[in-house]
Amino acid sequence: MPIGPASCPQLANCPTVIVMVGLPARGKTYMSKKLTRYLNWIGVKCRVFNVGEYRRSAVKEYKKFDFFDPQNKEAMKIRNKVCEQAMEDMIGWLENEGDVAVFDATNTTRERRQLVMDYCQKEKNFKVFFIESMCDDPEVVAENVKGHEELGEISEGRGAAAPFRRDVGEVKVNSPDYRNMNKDEAMRDFLERIRMYQKSYEPLDTEYDKEKSFIQVHNVGQRFLVNQIQDHVQSKICYYLMNIHVLPRSIYLTRHGESELNIKGRIGGDSSLSFRGRQFANALAKFMEEQDVNNLKVWTSQLKRTIETAGGFHAPIEQWKALNEIDAGVCEEMTYEEIQEKYPEEFAMRDQDKYHYRYPRGESYQDLVARLEPVIMELERQTNVLVICHQAVMRCLLAYFLDKNSDDLPYLKVPLHTVMKLTPMAYGCKVESFYLNIEAVNTHRERPKDQCSSAPTAELAAVQLSVECSASGNTDPQRKSEDALETVPDHY
């Protein structure tokens, strides 16, 4: 939802501070990161301020759990100072550029929460929203901390006694705090640390905190208590938290098979698969069968080429109009050469800001993200899904899962006949790329040189997602045709 420029104070939503609340190993950092990724993707500038990280900077070497004893006055001094540093940075960032800051710490006492609120509300008139994560199911807690791999087996049913993150134990004992201890020592110390916090834990209360805005998440989404939602962003945050889950599953993303228009180098349209595209459809069905996926759902767009690509599946198929390719408006079904010929300035403007650029009578990547939001929300609700979509659409979905910003998103490499398998892991997503060995044209147009600011990272290159830059090319509207067409891939 486009909001007017920040120069009109009554239009801009005032900045919000999300305050996480909960004992250690309740998934606060997991939720902080996931929520931040989601908000950034939908265009809300969001950032996490993790107090633990500030503490690790200040206290070079972590010794043992009694650092967290509320009676330990020396340690409390350090902990309070570190908390203030984090808050100062957070407030500075919100004043200058941010919309939503996530204050990721235990915040388990009323005193600490009041401190944070005073900073945010009295000084700065920011909104404050609490997210508390509670586990009162002893099984869930035990498994959180145990964190063994075999906890991967999740019982069927509505998130019953689902372990929080099967690898939280892994996350915690692999934390920098424990690099000098062996696994068992680390586990024992960590359990003691939780006990330190439990001594003084004061959960949010419907009576005492009735004027505060908060959501209390119980047992990983089994139950929620929602209090005094103030605005649109808080409402969306609650909706998002109510839809996510931590059951193990994989999301498969792929484009339709090579199409007739792909071969001709034409964009958009609604053509059928080419011969090689049909081969891919068969290969895809075979590949998914080998993947042996439980309760697989298959989603396509409402354009022929994705529906045909799903032809070999017996699984339930849902067609989403929202998954249709970006509408290229007046440029639909043209080749890049024709676009350069007919609309050279538009073509250059697109290269200058591919994310925000809207084709005349068409859409921009930014518009795409808006219409894909319900798809993402439903993907969060689901378990195993194969999404057969299109180049620009797949870039947007991938950017959500892999936390790519709007500069990189329009240049993510998503070649035809390649399936990407995304599996949530710890705080992020594991990506595996499977090329199904059927040749296809390349439809990827590199970012022109004068738009490149940084080198591609190794991690991206590893899964062929590099946002490489072309060796040359420029985006000036007065550029020559050959410069404009430099990055256009070959076609018939």
Residues involved in catalysis: 256, 325
Neighbours of 185 (CB within 10 A): 13
Q: CA-CA distance, 24 to 352, in Å (whole number)?
A: 45
Answer yes or no whether residue 13 interacts with a second copy by CB under 8 A: no
Answer yes or no whether residue 321 interacts with a second copy by CB under 8 A: yes
The pair phi, psi for residue 130, each rounded to 5°, is: -95, 140
Q: Among residue numbers 367 through 406, which ones bind a second copy (CB under 8 A)?
A: 367, 370-371, 374-375, 378, 381
Of 221 and 410, which has the nearer Cβ to a second copy? 221
Of 8 and 458, which has the nearer Cβ to a second copy? 8
Of 17 and 105, which has the nearer Cβ to a second copy? 17
Exposed/middle/buried for residue 107 (C-beta within 10 Å: 0-12, 13-18, 19+): buried
Answer yes or no whether residue 315 interacts with a second copy by CB under 8 A: yes
Answer yes or no whether residue 203 interacts with a second copy by CB under 8 A: no
Q: CA-CA distance, 125 to 123, in Å (whole number)?
A: 6
User: How many residues in the shown chain lie near a second copy by CB under 8 A?
Assistant: 52
Of 319 and 335, which has the nearer Cβ to a second copy? 319
CA torsion through residues 472, 461, 373, 434, sign: positive
**37, 424 contact by CB (below 8 A):** no
Binding window for a second copy (CB under 8 A); candidates: 6-14, 49-57, 397-405, 417-425 = 6-14
Binding window for a second copy (CB under 8 A); candidates: 49-57, 100-108, 302-310, 412-420 = 302-310
The reply, when asked if residue 256 is annotated as ligand binding, is yes
CB of 294 to a second copy, least distance (A): 14
Of 295 and 472, which has the nearer Cβ to a second copy? 295
Answer yes or no whether residue 206 interacts with a second copy by CB under 8 A: yes
Residue choice 72, 243, 272, 352 for contact with a second copy (CB under 8 A): 243
Answer yes or no whether residue 310 interacts with a second copy by CB under 8 A: yes
Q: CA-CA distance, 458 to 263, in Å (whole number)?
A: 31
Residue choice 43, 203, 312, 428 for contact with a second copy (CB under 8 A): 312
Answer yes or no whether residue 122 interacts with a second copy by CB under 8 A: no
User: Which two tokens mark 151?
Assistant: 């906890």
**306, 300 contact by CB (below 8 A):** yes
Neighbours of 82 (CB within 10 A): 20
Answer yes or no whether residue 188 interacts with a second copy by CB under 8 A: no
DSSP code for 489: P
CB of 42 to a second copy, least distance (A): 11
What 3-state DSSP class applies to 141?
A: helix
Q: How far apart are the first and last CA of the chain?
A: 40
Residue choice 322, 334, 387, 396 for contact with a second copy (CB under 8 A): 322
Indicate the angle between helix axes 365-381 and 28-41, nearest 10 degrees.
150
DSSP code for 401: H
Alpha helices, DSSP H, located in 108-221: 110-117, 138-146, 168-173, 183-199
The CA-based dihedral angle spanning residues 337, 341, 347, 348, taken in that order and rounded to the nearest 10 degrees:
110
Of 101 and 238, which has the nearer Cβ to a second copy? 238
Residue choice 4, 92, 176, 489 for contact with a second copy (CB under 8 A): 4
Residue choice 72, 85, 227, 291 for contact with a second copy (CB under 8 A): 227
**425, 433 contact by CB (below 8 A):** no
Residue choice 316, 480, 481, 489 for contact with a second copy (CB under 8 A): 316
CB of 375 to a second copy, least distance (A): 8
454-461 — which CB contacts under 8 Å span 24+ positions?
A: none
Q: CA-CA distance, 106 to 116, in Å (whole number)?
A: 12
CB of 137 to a second copy, least distance (A): 10
The reply, when asked if residue 422 is annotated as ligand binding, is no
Concatenated DSSP letters of 241-309: HHH-------EEEEEPPPBHHHHTTB-SS---B-HHHHHHHHHHHHHHHHHT-TT-EEEE-SSHHHHHH
Of 2 and 138, which has the nearer Cβ to a second copy? 2
**Residues 125-164, mask of contacts with a second copy (x by CB under 8 A):** ---------------------------------x------
**309, 301 contact by CB (below 8 A):** no
The reply, when asked if residue 417 is annotated as ligand binding, is no
Answer yes or no whether residue 235 interacts with a second copy by CB under 8 A: yes
The reply, when asked if residue 259 is annotated as ligand binding, is yes
Q: CA-CA distance, 390 to 397, in Å (whole number)?
A: 10
Of 92 and 374, which has the nearer Cβ to a second copy? 374
**258, 417 contact by CB (below 8 A):** yes
Length of the chain: 492
The reply, when asked if residue 258 is annotated as ligand binding, is yes
Q: Among residue numbers 260 through 299, which ones bind a second copy (CB under 8 A)?
A: 298
Answer yes or no whether residue 311 interacts with a second copy by CB under 8 A: yes
CB of 10 to a second copy, least distance (A): 5
The pair phi, psi for residue 324, each rounded to 5°, is: -60, 150
CB of 469 to a second copy, least distance (A): 30
Binding residues for substrate: 255-262, 305
Which positions make up the binding site?
A: 255-262, 305
Interface residue list for a second copy (CB under 8 A): 1-4, 8, 10-11, 158, 206, 210, 213, 222-232, 235, 238-239, 242-243, 298, 302, 307, 310-322, 332, 361, 367, 370-371, 374-375, 378, 381
